[in-house]
Structure 1
């Protein structure tokens, strides 16, 4: 059964995701799909609107066949390691023929050309070029685009323009990961349409909006959810309404976790904060100095106080999430990340997905995990902890929801 792999967050699953799924199946000629999905925290370091189970349910209802969790070790990482972790999982299934991602350009050829110049990923030379660009005052996205575009010559201006797009940058790293793994999967791209990655408003008269805009509408309550309905599949809207009524939603995002976050930051000396992933170049001192000067103990206020051109909001949010979850040490270092994910965690499946799982018993390069309790592993323990912290911030927290990894089986769509 020809299968296409997708790397997703579905925060929440909206009409743009549905279009991407359908076009991915179309251009790949696949009969089935596997989605590798971030868990309770996204690549930008934000707590997801809903639990990973609710988002997996949305995906399955919309036509995805198998949903696997991207371990948090990779889910909250810069593009290089986020892409490497996701592509490693798809490759490890042994059943994915291609990986299809959304991009602003919708083209693979320029990404493949640039990837060929960056063989081996982010080389020491590129990291030095990145350091120099940052020292010159460029923002991180602009500095990264400049450093990457200079690798190996060619039209650096065109490459820099291409990498000014967030999804094309991720696409480059998907292609790099495929080369690094010597994977036989084919990279494919679907052009993003109608709504940009950062578009904050719901477009009038349309049916596709960014996830940012959909979440912003939902944060306004019932009226906002009604406004967002036109941009969501009916199945996603049903799940959203159910989860909201049950008190299992975080419409306020980071602010729902402000209290435990501030407790984690206040009780650590700067030397301890320096051990948290993404903390470097004195960021720990910047945070410690900002805390007593805040107008209020809010996450937005803290981010505003510590953000600079060099320290992007995304990087700072990931740092805060790592601090909240007590992440530290060599576990999040390059040597550890280079070893790749150590399991395939199943969140849900359709009837086709069940057939894929049956095939994966013979083809998978990693253990297929259906119940967390059956697979004690340090990487998986981090996933369980992150889900418990995320669910503890729900308006109506429940211990079985916090530890659903132990109690709940994968979601099965029939």
Structure 2
């Protein structure tokens, strides 16, 4: 058995994801695939279009074998924390042979070289970095220059300074570097691979071909009730699931739908907003002042955004406030090298084979139903991770089930079972 690991959000699963899946299986010669997927809230500080069970089913119907939820405390954070949580989860399974991710550069050698320098921080690199910082450079620029100097002086790879800067400023390259850094820190046997993203930029909002970004699909779904356009850009299983959900009044979810909930939390916790993760440097004052004059989430983003705080940073910070993610709880879990459990969301017959292999190779807890878990576990990290998964689902479902309140039985993580796709 040759098991490939993928780190995904599938928001939604589109033709580019299908290309990545097929190409990844081809270059790794994988026989089985495991996807570590963000749950109901995502890495850029946004809610998912559809709930985690729906997106997991779409993934398995598109030939992913097993979908596992990435714990919420990792799923909603910076590239470094997100990537470490995902890689640590894969590594904890003790049976994953490879990981394959998309990148703008499509060159594993240069990404591995950069990652190794950043993990080991050779003395020459540290000296160069310190010099640039002392010259008044901002950290990202100083680090880029120090990396280039070290790579060039040691003839590690043939690359120009402009090419290196472009790599370090590209979203998927950044994630790829963080995946490899985590593999190195964990001394993992999982082998990294990368494939070049095709046709569409990560944040492109245009739909010009059969492969476009998830951002473009989400924007189109937000602006129209006619979802027929999606048949051109998502595989048929995704399209059918999307249509079925909408027919059942489970409509796409967008971040502005949580504005009223978020506003109430900001006003309630105005005196201790700085307890939340990523609320630093007085940004809590700007958030509190801005909530009074913001009539929607977009206005709040605009008022808080500045040269110091990017839009993505603001969205993650506000999402931490929405989900109640505190600095203390993040400090407890963010550097975990072993994840104590996995939550299975969907699987097929090959997925069953993987789960059997996990049971035989790892001591990790495999959760199919939360109702079967004893929460009197004497493990603060385990309990903290699970509590946030449940809390995030509860907050998400207050909006997701708005048109189907009669189906909301309570905390749905206790009622939902993994989807078996035959």
Q: TM-score, normalised by structure 2?
A: 0.89
Contact 2:221 2:252 in 1 (8 A): no
Distance 1:273 1:308 in 2: 19
Shift of 1:248: 2.1
1:188 aligned onto 2:193:
yes
Displacement of 1:228? 2.3
Within-5 A mapping of 1:33-182: 33-119=33-119, 144=140, 146-147=142-143, 150-151=146-147, 153-155=150-152, 157=161, 158-182=163-187
Q: CA deviation at 1:396?
A: 1.5
Q: Structure 2 vs 1, CA of residues 77 and 96 (structure 1 numbering), >3 Å: closer, same or farther?
A: same
Q: How does 1:212-223 map to 2 (within 5 A)?
A: 212-223=215-226
Following superposition, the deviation at residue 328 of structure 1 comes to 1.1
In structure 1, the partner of 2:367 is 369
Shift of 1:312: 1.1
Instruction: Report what 2:403 is aligned to.
Output: 396
- SS of equivalent to 2:40: coil
C-alpha distance in 1 between matches for 2:62 and 2:145: 38
Conservation of the 8 A alpha-carbon contact between 1:47 and 1:390: yes
Aligned to 2:311: 313
Match of 2:416 among 386, 390, 408: 408
Structure 1 match to 2:18? 18
Q: RMSD in angstroms over aligned alpha carbons?
A: 2.4
User: Paired residues, what number?
Assistant: 398
Distance in 2 (alpha carbons) for counterparts of 1:401 and 1:168: 42
Which whole-Å CA distance do the structure 1 matches of 2:120 and 2:264 have between them?
Answer: 40
**Which residue is 1:208 aligned to?**
211
User: How far, CA to CA, are the matches of 1:145 and 1:352 in structure 2?
Assistant: 46
Deviation (angstroms), 1:245: 2.1
**Deviation at residue 351 of structure 1 after TM alignment:** 0.3
Q: Distance in 1 between matches of 2:133 and 2:57?
A: 45
Task: Give a deviation string over 1:123-147, Cα, whole Å, max 9, x none.
Answer: 9979x97x969x86x7xxxx53652
Instruction: Could you tell me which runs of 5 or more consecutive residues in structure 2 were left unpaired when the two chains were aligned.
Output: 153-159, 376-382
Deviations 1:205-243 (A, max 9, x none): x210100000111112332x2122200111101111111
Q: The residue matched to 1:393 in structure 2 has which SS? A: helix
For structure 1, the 5+ residue unaligned runs are none
Measured against aligned partners, the alpha-carbon deviations of 1:316-373 in whole angstroms (never above 9, x if no partner) come to: 111111111112131112x531124321111111100001101111112421111122
2:325 to 318, 324, 327: 327
Matching residue within 384, 387, 391 for 1:381: 387
Structure 2: how far apart are the matches of 1:293 and 1:14? Answer: 38
Deviation at 1:402, TM superposition (A): 6.0
Distance 1:83 1:336 in 2: 14
Q: Structure 2 vs 1, CA of residues 79 and 401 (structure 1 numbering), >3 Å: closer, same or farther?
A: farther
Asked if 2 retains the 8 angstrom alpha-carbon contact of 1:32 and 1:352, the reply is yes
Residues 34-64 of structure 1 deviation map (CA, whole Å, 9 limit, x = unaligned): 0000001110000110000000000000000
Structure with bigger gyration radius? 2
Q: 2:334 aligns with which of 329, 332, 337?
A: 337
